[in-house]
């Protein structure tokens, strides 16, 4: 009889703890955390006639989002919804570029996108894909909860000029204040 009582208590406690986890998950909070930064890019002349190069870096701090900051120690999951570049200013117009946009953090693989023969015009939106698991790498970067660098570099069809571009990363975050 004692044996059956112990088995009953063991099964009851397993069910109890399982139910507690289910109840705890009811407290999950989901929110969008979007990050947008603007790069002011100068195209510099090169020795190669008729072309210029550019290389500009800026830092994004995930903790600048109030919800992300509030739940930073309680985050269960981060997913990347989208990534894009919007050209906001251009001189001269148009400019054709080939290069890369990279998001990077120390000791982690970078998320990098190629920009090949991309014709820039004001208000052009370039959607960044996930063909090489860049969103997984970006997720890992966001999971550090530390500032990270965004860099655009490459070659332009003009020897000298400027352009501004907004880089936007949209994320969905799940957190649990009970964690």
Cα–Cα nearest to 156, from 89, 97, 99, 100: 97
Asked if residues 113 and 129 have their Cβ atoms less than 8 Å apart, the reply is yes
Tokens of 18: 């399982």
Q: What is the pTM of this model?
A: 0.84
Write out pLDDT tens, residues 30-65.
999 999 999 999 999 988 778 999 999 999 999 999
Phi, psi angle pair for 104, to nearest 5°: -145, 150
- Helix H or strand E encompassing 4: helix 2-25
Q: Residues of 53-72 as b/e, b for ≥16 C-beta within 10 angstroms?
A: bbeeeeebebeebeebeebe
pLDDT digits (tens, 9 = 90+) for 8-33: 444 444 444 455 555 556 778 999 99
């Amino acid at each position: 009889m004692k044996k059956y009582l112990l088995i009953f208590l063991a099964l009851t406690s397993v069910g109890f703890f399982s139910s507690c986890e289910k109840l705890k998950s009811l407290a999950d909070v989901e929110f969008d955390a979007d990050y947008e930064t603007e790069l002011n890019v100068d195209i510099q002349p090169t020795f190669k006639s008729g072309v210029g190069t550019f290389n500009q870096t800026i830092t994004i701090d995930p903790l600048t989002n109030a919800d992300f900051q509030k739940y930073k120690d309680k985050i269960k999951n981060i997913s990347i919804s989208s990534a894009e570049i919007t050209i906001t200013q251009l001189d001269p117009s148009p400019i054709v570029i080939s290069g890369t946009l990279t998001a990077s953090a120390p000791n982690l693989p970078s998320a990098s996108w190629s920009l090949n023969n991309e014709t820039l015009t004001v208000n052009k939106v370039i959607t960044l894909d996930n063909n090489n698991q860049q969103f997984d790498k970006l997720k890992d970067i966001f999971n550090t909860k530390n500032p990270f660098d965004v860099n655009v570099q490459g070659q332009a069809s003009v020897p000298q000029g400027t352009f501004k571009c907004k880089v936007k990363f949209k994320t969905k975050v799940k957190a649990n204040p009970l964690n």
